[in-house]
Amino acid sequence: KRGAGKIEEAEPWNKLLLPASSLPTDPALYVGPFPFYRRPSELGCFSLDAQRQYHGDARALRYYCPPPTNGQSPNFDLRDGYPDRYRPRDEEVQERLDHLLCWVLEHRGRLEGGPGWLAGAIVTWRGHLTKLLTTPYERQEGWQLAASRFQGTLYLSEVETPAARVQRLTRPPVLQELMYMGYKFEQYMCADKPGGSTDPSGEVNTNVAFCSVLRSRLGNHPLLFSGEVDCIDPQAPTTQPPTCYVELKTSKEMHSPGQRKSFYRRKLLKWWAQSFLPGVPNVVAGFRNPEGFVCSLKTFRTMEMFEYVRNDRDGWNPSVCMNFCAAFLSFAQDTVVQDDPRLVYLFSWEPGSPVTVSEHRDAPHAFLPTWYVEAMTQ
Ligand code: 0WD
Ligand code: CA
């Protein structure tokens, strides 16, 4: 929506001079053909160790190691080790884009696409793009994205909303345990070495992460983003990342058609958005019973997830997700005009409302660190 309708019609030049001040999110507005999305290619990777220290290599990458399929079902106790063998990451630390910027700094001179490619790109986390993709269908959680332009590049970094902060600080014990259970599942399914075996006796340390750095393009928006990858399948048909990566998930066992319908409508949307963006082809789900044991596994192909809701009036549509994301990126590109790492545009969204934007300078919203700005200015 651009300004007041009446004035806009009387003075169409307004449209050309003023950037839009908000962006609607209704799914109906984004129905249409699927937009261009470049096949994601991996530019590199990095790892975070048990102390959350950055390393420009794949040391934290784990290997997919499913249980033998000899007719027996798995029996993974996801509550085992909680809380004594749990080392959760300190969520008070706001890392923003720092680790990704570390990678960009190290590789800026030899990025494929040639010199100047980065200046036209958008740099962000995969998780932030996932939130954009699911926005037209999200009815519960809003988001805030901070945006700055620096040397041409548009950087997008999520800001924790006040509501999300309250939720985090008052997270009920059952939810904390549920978070642990997701990571515990990874431990049952992954080995540290190719062909190695799993070791569920160890600690679960969520500081450890392996992140893939990917290049893609949505419409006319070149993208450089990074996402955490759970494991690589050494037996995948192709060993070329991201095609050999596997995403692991847990979900409640389903017993009724209603439970299945809701799983397809809500969870599969999030799983699809998260894995489609980096081109991860398979999501392996562990279904847990009320006692917290995974007794069945199912592989969902990312490219087939939409089939579960294709004929559902209240389902989701990948084109809507991608068209909205492209519209948001254009909105952000048109809004963040000044090239200034200390200037921040804060895009805010709450379900039921359009995306709005406000302008800020320096703390607390500026997110491009001095070490990055200075090194890039050399
Ligand atoms: O700065 C921020 N606001 C955020 C930073 C929000 C979310 C994540 N991060 C960090 C992550 O810790 C990671 O190092 O960014 C990096 C990459 O994240 P991403 O891949 O872009 O994030 P997302 O797709 O949301 O999550 C991927 C995985 C999760 O797997 P599941 O299956 O649950 O979707 O990253 C993990 C988690 O395993 N993860 C986190 N680990 C520690 N702390 C967090 C977190 N807050 N969020 C997601
Ligand atoms: Ca996962």
In terms of Cα–Cα distance, which of 110, 117, 69, 138 is closest to 297? 69
Binding site membership of 127 for ligand 1 (Cβ less than 6 Å):
yes
Mean pLDDT for the chain overall? 96
Round to whole Å and give the CA distance between 134 and 316: 9
* Spatial CA neighbour of 144 closest among 161, 119, 122, 123: 161
238-251 pLDDT per residue, tens = 999 999 999 999 99
Q: Which residues surround ligand 2, an ion (CB under 5 A)?
A: 230, 248
What's the mean pLDDT in 130-136? 99
What pLDDT is recorded for position 112? 92
Q: Is the pLDDT of residue 49 over 70?
A: yes
Distance CA 183, CA 76 (A): 12
Q: What pLDDT is attached to residue 4?
A: 45
Residue 204 has pLDDT above 70, yes or no: yes
The pLDDT value recorded for residue 15 is 56
On whether the CB atoms of residues 244 and 281 are closer than 8 A, the answer is no
Residue 267 is classified by DSSP as I
Radius of gyration over alpha carbons of the chain, in Å?
21
Q: Confidence band (pLDDT; 50, 70, 90) for 18?
A: confident
For residue 37, the 8-state DSSP code is B
**Nearest ligand by distance to the CA of 275:** 1
Decide: helix, strand or coil at residue 158: strand
Whether residue 78 has pLDDT greater than 60:
yes
Out of 5-9, 121-125, 241-245, 254-258, least confident range: 5-9
- For 15, residues 6+ apart whose C-beta sits below 8 A from its C-beta are 2, 8
Residue with tokens 């904390």: 176
Please confirm whether the linkage preceding 83 is cis (ω < 30° from 0): yes
Using the predicted structure, report yes or no on whether residue 16 has a pLDDT greater than 80: no
- CA 377 – CA 372 distance, rounded (Å): 8
pLDDT greater than 50 at residue 5: no
Res 10 pLDDT > 80: no
Question: Residue 240's CB: how many other CB atoms inside 10 A?
Answer: 10
122 lines ligand 1 (CB under 6 A): no
Structure tokens at 168: 């985090």
pLDDT at position 33 over 50: yes
**228, 249, 275, 302: which to mutate for ligand 1, most atoms within 8 A of CB?**
228
CB 189 within 8 A of CB 66: yes
Q: What is the pLDDT of residues 250-261, one digit of tens each?
A: 999 999 999 999
